[in-house]
Amino acid sequence: MAEEKKLVGKVTHYFTNIGVAVVELEDALKVGDEISIEGATTNFTQKVESMQIEHENVEEAKKGDSVGMKVIDRVREGDQVFKV
């Protein structure tokens, strides 16, 4: 059975030196959620360990927020973020 995936946002920026992706959210996301980041050359799943809005740690973020999150692999602008 295929896992249920829901689009929650899109990568708008990636900081290579610190391994942080900036994600523009289209749906709520919280710490502990399992996400999948997919794009032309990106495809991995990870747990959201921490998120920041304007350098402040947050437990959850809502639609319209832009959050920074540590990612385990390189991502690119335009990659899609799904909640799995």
Give 5-43 pLDDT, tens digit per residue.
999 999 999 999 999 999 999 999 999 999 999 999 999
Strand partners, 38: 43, 80
Beta bridge partners of residue 9, listed in sequence order: 25, 81
Comparing 3 with 42, the larger pLDDT belongs to 42
Q: How far is CA 23 from CA 32, 55, 67, in A?
A: 16, 14, 5
pTM of the model: 0.94
SS3 77: coil
Q: Spell out the domains of the chain, with CATH numbers in brackets.
A: 6-83 (2.40.30.10)
